[in-house]
Amino acid sequence: MKIAMLGSLGNINRLVLPRLVAAGHAVTVVTTNSQRRAAIEARGARAAVGTMQDEAFLAHTFSGQDVVYLMLSGGVGDDPFASAVTQAQIWKRALLTAGVKNVVDLSSVGADAGPVAGSLHAYNLIEGILKTIPDVNLACVRPTGFYANLFANVASIQTDHAIYANNAPDLAQKYVAPIDIANVVYPLITATPAGTSVHYAFSDTFTGNDFVAALRTALNLPDLKWVQLSDDQYLANLTSHGVPTKIAAALLQTSHYQRQPEQVYADLTARHTPAGQVKLADFVQTYVEAYNGQGQHRSHTIAD
């Protein structure tokens, strides 16, 4: 099969790509960085250097491909929703021009909700546009929150022995590791289901209290604590770190949405989604490495 993948050598692609190449597929990887060409080719794929905003480039790259894998990455400007709509429309036109019949889209949990999901509403908008493409098999992959988002707390743990968040420490949330997303994405690329389908990915479910308890032991920090911020404090912290006002407001709304896990994960649960292989105890071992400055661990978005 001929397969085109957006996302360069990101956290998911670097896991999926070797499996595709080993299975004998001809893979083209889209990257904005020409310096990644050698690394992509060393993995047995072809590099296509260009941007997701270049419709002509995408249409050319998608031409003749049996499957296209889409994922949102890079900056979104000051308006994440307008940017999502613009990007999805570019993808739609490029896919139509290229005559692609199978698409796998990396979306997000919350894509089944409307504006109530805050920043995650961007994925609802993208899915909505992709679903209007006629005669295409579309598989939407909806991961839960990335484990790696928790790396944002490393600095405050080091300095204050504290994790700051505006949600309660007893709120249960689902997290996912890249390998567990890759294990959902790979079979969908190689055999995209007919019609439109939705697939979730998560690894484990735990509360802030669970996370703190595990880190207290792993990091030998018996005084580590979870400090709940007010919404005003959370918003002020985002804007003080340069997050545009509209994006900060959307992130705050997402945190409100997450306070209702029975709503957030209703569709995931209804589809009897199995948990992946990377559990909290496994991730904590990686977290210790990040805390000690080992490896390249950082907080990032779901589509990094």
CB atoms within 10 A of CB 157: 20
- 102 in a structural domain: yes
- CA-to-CA distance for 105 and 107, rounded, in angstroms? 6
User: What's the CA angle centered on 50, arms 47 and 51, to 5 degrees?
Assistant: 130
What is the structure's pLDDT at 76? 58
Please state, for a pLDDT cut of 70, what percent of the chain lies above it: 96
Res 303: pLDDT = 34
Domain identity same for 184 and 39: yes
* Residues facing residue 173 across a β-bridge: 206
Residues 249 and 116 occupy one common structural domain: no
pLDDT of 27 reads 98
CATH for 65: 3.40.50.720
Asked if residue 303 belongs to a domain, the reply is no
125: buried, middle or exposed (CB in 10 Å: 19+, 13-18, 0-12)? Answer: buried
Q: Mark whether 287 and 161 lie in a shared domain.
A: yes
Q: Which residues of the chain have pLDDT under 50?
A: 301-304
pLDDT confidence of residue 297? 72
**102, β-bridge pairs:** 137
Residue pair 160/225 in contact by the 8 Å Cβ criterion:
no
Domains identified in the chain, total number = 2
Provide the terminal-to-terminal Cα distance of the chain, rounded to the nearest Å.
Answer: 25
pLDDT digits (tens, 9 = 90+) for 43-86: 999 999 999 999 999 999 999 999 999 999 866 567 889 999 99
Is residue 64 domain-shared with residue 95, that is, in the same domain?
A: yes
Kindly state whether residues 71 and 209 are assigned to the same domain: no
pLDDT at 229: 95
Dihedral over alpha carbons 180, 86, 111, 149 (to 10 degrees) = 50
For residues 157 and 265, membership in a common domain is answered with: yes
Considering the domain architecture, whether residues 83 and 125 belong to the same structural domain is answered as: yes
Identify the pLDDT of residue 292. Answer: 94
Q: What is the bridge-based pairing of β-strands 196-201 and 137-143?
A: parallel
Residues 96, 213, single domain; the answer is: no
Domain of residue 86: give its range: 2-144+176-201
155 and 277 in one domain?
yes
The number of beta carbons lying within 10 Å of the beta carbon of residue 55 is 16
Tokens read off for 71: 């994922």
